Amino acid sequence: MQRRGAISYDSSDQTALYIRMLGDVRVRSRAGFETERRGSHPYIDFRIFHSNSEIEVSVSARNVRRLLSFQRYLRSSRFFRGITVPNSSNILDDDYNGQAKCMLEKVGNWNFDIFLFDRLTNGNSLVSLTFHLFNLHGLIEHFQLDTMKLRRFLVMVQEDYHSQNPYHNAVHAADVTQAMHCYLKEPKLSKSLTPWDVLLSLIAAATHDLDHPGVNQPFLIKTNHYLATLYKNTSVLENHHWRSAVGLLRESGLFAHMSLENRQLMESQIGDLILATDISQQNEYLSMFRSHLDRGDLCLENANHRHFILQMALKCADICNPCRTWELSKQWSEKVTEEFFHQGDIEKKYHLGVSPLCDRQTETIANIQIGFMTYLVEPLFGEWARFSNTRLSQTMLGHLGLNKASWKGVQREQSGSGDDVDPTFEEMDSDILPQEPRLS
């Protein structure tokens, strides 16, 4: 036995975990693949900006700033040891639990209100929803999963999202997972996907923004953050989300009963899915998708083609907020803009140069959303509707059109021309939206 800090581990087990007392948890494997640190929490230490010298952070300082992650680890550990946290309000009454269960019966409905569900589950929407979906899709039985290990894995995933982030938090992950479930039930996919495909899709959706710091990649690069250095300024956040997810999978032992070859394949394919969510690669993926559709050569009996479609599905799920009902979409728009503006405030404070979309003095939610819908969401969902021309895809496009018109109305009011209402907007009504069947 060897010791790291105060935690012992057996060095004869090459997949054993060890915990350094400052919260730096690593996972080793015989295959030599080293994952990202468990709960490494890419903390931003703004004291570095007070130095006139080149930005440089010592290893010891980096270790100190991982203390918060260790606290998150302790919280989840206490949960599994049955220790009640003081002043905890984790126990819900039967009424709340009953309402949450009723909502899960309609988890395949596109107007599923993830904010309400999160309140009903007392902030445990990601754990509750994902566990339910694993059971609904028959994954627990098919892969002979230990339900306690599964719940432990999901609790660790939820804990490693930063609740202080207005947008990139566990509720967003739960929302993306619910959207992914809706796509998996689409006719073209449901009749072609294997249990393996569904398993990868749900895990990737639940972990796709794991340990997100609440700032974007350009910010990490210009502040010389250690993650930017580690991943050579390429898909920095997505690589971190993926490696963090792999770390939790290994730490939980959820698939320890599988062969090493299958576990490695799972880790690699989850990585392919998460890396596809890098918005800077949007045009590349969209071009490939469009070319396949133009040629009509997508064959879902082909495992590679199915994997590509799952990448596109996760991309859609990740940015589907403008395709939700106005009540839900507006909340997401406000949250993501709040996160942008918070980054901009920090950049102003430390004279870093404000990133695009992050200046609260010159940008508005309406302008940001209209641009986002026009250049990113509409092209992607237009092609998705070509691939899967169903009630759901038409409903999403319908909501997208209504929401864009609503933001244009807000934009006109803010510019002082609120009386000049577009007649098209006046005529549009939610009743004209095609209604999807209510699926469970």
The Cα–Cα gap between 230 and 220 comes to 11
* DSSP H or E stretch at residue 189: helix 187-190
Does 168 appear as a known binding residue? yes
Strand, helix or coil for residue 17: strand
Strand, helix or coil for residue 3: strand
Does 369 appear as a known binding residue? yes
Does 208 appear as a known binding residue? yes
Q: Are 36 and 247 in contact (CB under 8 A)?
A: yes
Closest CA to 209 of 181, 183, 239: 239
Strand, helix or coil for residue 300: coil
Does 278 appear as a known binding residue? no
Q: Are 133 and 181 in contact (CB under 8 A)?
A: yes
Does 292 appear as a known binding residue? no
Strand, helix or coil for residue 38: strand
Residues 6 or more apart from 85 whose CB is under 8 A from it? Answer: 75, 78
The Cα–Cα gap between 342 and 117 comes to 26
Let me know if 137 is a catalytic residue. Answer: no
Find residue 25's DSSP bridge partners: 19, 38
Does 318 appear as a known binding residue? yes
Does 209 appear as a known binding residue? yes
168, 181, 292, 399: which is the annotated catalytic residue?
168
Does 50 appear as a known binding residue? no
Does 87 appear as a known binding residue? no
Per-residue burial over 53-78, b = 16 or more CB atoms within 10 Å of its CB, e = otherwise: eeeebeeeebeebbeebbebbeebbe
Summarize the annotated binding site for AMP as residue ranges: 168-172, 209, 318, 369
Summarize the annotated binding site for Zn(2+) as residue ranges: 172, 208-209, 318
- Catalytic positions, written as ranges: 168
